[in-house]
């Protein structure tokens, strides 16, 4: 079955960077892009960016442009999201999500989420 | 501030029909389809409705979606206690890529 398994919780200091991984299985990795969505405590969903697993093309939300980088490793079927210059308001659960089809949406498959805590 | 506007809360009693609204603009809902997600506490979101009115396999037909102009709606009929969750709308935006609503938290009384 299709699975997206994310790396474990992280605790970072302000100004640091974090890199979250998302390992895919159960389908051809290069057939579907990967989106990253975050959710601050008690808040709604916020889209961060998308990466093509076929050619590495990316799209980013304006709010994160310049601070986030999404990449893939086709050999290990793993997607990565790196967020730099962390602030306390970056504390959130970060999800990877795969569309059901070949486009950007809808997000039919989700990872379990990775809690990133930013605190001094 | 979310690009798509949803009321923050809704409530209903078992068996009742409830509806959720999602308001956007021409660049998102007006030009593109809407998807709805259900998020139970402590879990990842689950796709509930795609292409404005289509249900993925396994989603009960109690859930239905519609779209008109720059607004969309999700309806749940025959409300059940396990429907207590937060519901998010989402759409492609021609300028901003993917946008979400702020979510509507449903309480089953």
Taken as a whole, chain B contains a residue count of 109
The predicted structure's pLDDT at residue A15: 97
The token pair at B83 is 């429907």
Taking 90 as the threshold, does the pLDDT of residue A65 lie above it? Answer: no
Considering only CB atoms, A62 lies closest to which of B56, B90, B96, namely B96
A positions 32-71 inside 8 Å of B (CB)? 35, 37, 44-47, 50, 59-62
Whether the predicted pLDDT of B99 surpasses 90:
yes
- The pLDDT score that the predictor gives to residue A104 is 87
Instruction: Indicate whether A70 pLDDT > 90.
Output: yes
Closest-CA residue in chain B for A39? Answer: B44
Give the model's pLDDT for residue A5. 98
Reported as a single tens digit per residue, the pLDDT across B40-90 is 999 999 999 999 999 999 999 999 999 999 999 999 999 999 999 999 999
Residue B61 backbone dihedrals phi, psi, to 5 degrees:
-75, 5
Tell me the percentage of chain A whose pLDDT exceeds 70: 100
Chain B residue numbers with beta carbons less than 8 Å from the beta carbon of A46 are 100
pLDDT at A52 over 90: yes
Cα A99 to Cα A4, A9, A33, A117, B47: the distances in Å are 12, 24, 7, 27, 10
Angle subtended at Cα B22 by Cα B21 and Cα B24, rounded to the nearest 5 degrees = 145
Q: Which of B35, B51, B100 sits opposite A44 (nearest CB)?
A: B100
CA B90 to chain centre: 8
Q: What is the mean pLDDT of chain A?
A: 96
């Amino acid at each position: 079955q299709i699975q997206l398994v994310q790396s474990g919780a992280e605790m970072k200091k302000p100004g640091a960077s974090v890199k979250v991984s998302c390992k895919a299985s159960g389908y051809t990795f290069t057939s579907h892009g990967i989106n990253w969505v975050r959710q601050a405590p008690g808040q709604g969903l916020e889209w961060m960016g998308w990466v093509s697993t076929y050619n590495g093309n990316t799209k980013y939300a304006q709010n994160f442009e310049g601070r986030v980088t999404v990449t893939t490793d086709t050999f290990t079927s793993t997607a990565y999201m790196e967020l730099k210059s962390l602030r306390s308001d970056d504390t959130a659960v970060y999800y990877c999500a795969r569309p059901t089809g070949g486009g950007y949406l809808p997000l039919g498959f989700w990872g379990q989420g990775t809690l990133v805590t930013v605190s001094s | 501030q979310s690009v798509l506007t949803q009321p923050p809360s809704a409530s209903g009693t078992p068996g009742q029909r409830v509806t959720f609204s999602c308001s956007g603009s021409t660049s998102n809902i007006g030009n593109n389809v809407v998807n709805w997600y259900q998020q139970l506490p402590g879990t990842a979101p689950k796709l509930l409705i795609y292409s404005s009115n289509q249900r993925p396999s396994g989603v009960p037909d109690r859930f239905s979606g519609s779209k008109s102009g720059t607004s969309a709606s999700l309806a749940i009929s025959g409300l059940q206690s396990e429907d207590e969750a937060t519901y998010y709308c989402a759409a492609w935006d021609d300028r901003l890529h993917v946008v979400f609503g702020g979510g509507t938290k449903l309480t089953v009384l």
